[in-house]
Structure 1
Amino acid sequence: MKKPGEVFADSSLYDPGIEAIVPRYDELHDAILNSPPQDRTEEIRVLELGAGTGELTAKLLTRFPESTVLAVDHSEGMLAEAERKLETFGDRADIVQGTFPDDYPTASDEFDLVITSLAVHHLPSAEKRTLFDSLADALVPGGWFVNGDVIRFDASHLETVSSAMIANWVRSKGWEEEEFMNRWQASDEFDDPDALTDQLLWLREAGFESVTSVWQYYNFAVYGARKPA
């Protein structure tokens, strides 16, 4: 049974496939990794929710060579790809199967940084708010949460513009959108994005400060917030 985030039936095809359907995918990752205040030489403990094939995990472990990551995903296929990709990092990457906010973070967790990419939009609004509350508890004082994700526009014409932009992006990669979607079995039925303004408000209500939007390209955005020191 297909799960949220399993956009492609064969997980080994996720990396090339996601770059064909998410515009500026690498730029979104760069915005996430450029957002934390930590110096690259610091020892930081990171939680990644919805780690998928470990692509963002590998980039973070490379950029922050003293970091360790607890990488969480609920897809067996994705985790198999992540284990292969992250093997070179040894015990700096701890890969576990689980869901969020139900399984992670736990009440005993303490992280300097929590990141997630293209995953939180699968949660309904109430569960996003529950997640933000639990992240406020799991971060150390001064710790940051950074998310790169799909957002929803309240204006219907902007949703239409965004859909057309994605279709054009897929074509630029050599695919017709319908053919691409049929072949890769996209899991749109699990998508439940919320407006960026709502999510920034929910972070404030969860007790975060320095709540900010870092990067946006149509309906893809990177935003973050800090737990008070």
Structure 2
Amino acid sequence: MENVRHDVKKQFNDVAQVYDKQREKLIPCFKDFYTIATALAELENDCPKVIDLGAGTGLFSSYILNKYPKAQLTLIDLSEGMLEIAKKRFHNHDDIKYIVSDYTKYEYQERYDLVISSLSIHHLTDSEKKDLYHKVYSIMNNNSIFINADQVLGNTDFLDSLYKSDWENYIEHSGLDRNEITAARERTKLDKMTTLELQLKWLKDAGFSDVDCMYKYYNFVVMYARK
């Protein structure tokens, strides 16, 4: 498993400088994916404590910070390179915490009002996903929200092939050059996707209420769970 983590870290360190520029060309539903995920973060507190799991360059966090300018943000990621880009993104915000670590193993000392993640948890094995959902529940305050914007496996081989075909068609016409497309395909070898149905069950099993998929475009989904 450590070798897998090393591969994830290396590939995302390598792509850190161009990741944001490429992301819109790699996600067919980019605008809806992030705006809907952000809209779901409806909190009573206007200065919530927020942690972004697998935060990368801080893209999802930037949406949340636009919505909650007083938010107390923590970004955690394996990749130092990605977090360096996040630091540049948030150079005007001195109170953001950055943690270079494996968020599945990190010993959290705080509790959060909002836990977010985007395009990261699908790199975990099934058992790691289940354990993570329990851990996420344990670090959340009451009346808090967990939002996971991620990719999922199709319920059948046929459906999964439809998901993959749509993505392949999109990236082929995205304007990315051949090297960028090849690199994106190579990163998919790190994926360990799980069906949406199973993950919603695991969230409920972890103790969450009001669990649902609030948005879906082929295999791009936004999962919502409340504690």
TM value normalised by structure 1: 0.90
Q: Distance in 1 between matches of 2:24 and 2:94?
A: 27
From 72, 77, 89, the counterpart of 1:73: 77
How many residues in Structure 1 have an aligned counterpart in Structure 2?
222
Residue 185 of structure 1: how far off its partner (Å):
6.7
* Equivalent position to 1:85, from 65, 85, 89: 89
Structure 2: distance between partners of 1:151 and 1:5: 23
2:195 aligned partner: 195
> Could you tell me whether the CA contact under 8 Å between 1:7 and 1:185 is conserved in 2?
no
Question: How much identity, in percent, do the aligned residues show?
Answer: 26
Letter in 2 for 1:131: L
Q: Indicate conservation of the 8 Å contact 1:121/1:151, yes or no.
A: yes
Match in the other structure for 1:168 = 169
RMSD of equivalent CA atoms = 1.9
Shift in Å at residue 212 of structure 1?
0.9
CA deviations over 1:182-211 (Å, ceiling 9, x no partner): 255732221101100100100111111000
In 2, Cα distance between the equivalents of 1:184 and 1:221? 19
1:27 maps to which residue? 32
Per the normalisation by structure 2, the TM-score is 0.90
Unaligned runs of 5+ in 1: none
Distance 1:19 1:55, change over 3 A: same
Q: Secondary structure in 2 aligned to 1:23?
A: coil
List runs of 5+ in structure 2 lacking aligned partners. 1-5
In structure 2, the residue matched to 1:12 is 17
Partner SS state of residue 114, structure 1: strand
- Which residue of 2 is the match for residue 3 of structure 1? 8
Q: Is the 8 A contact 1:9 1:184 kept in 2?
A: no
Q: Deviations over 1:148-188 (max 9, x none)?
A: 00100121111111111112211332247x65432557322
Q: CA deviation at 1:130?
A: 0.6
**SS of aligned partner of 1:89:** coil
Task: Point out the more displaced range, 11-20 or 145-154.
Answer: 11-20
Find the aligned partners of 1:10 and 1:4 in 2 and give their Cα distance: 10
Runs of 4+ residues over 6 Å off in structure 1: none
Distance 1:18 1:125 in 2: 25
Partner residue in 2 for 1:225: 225
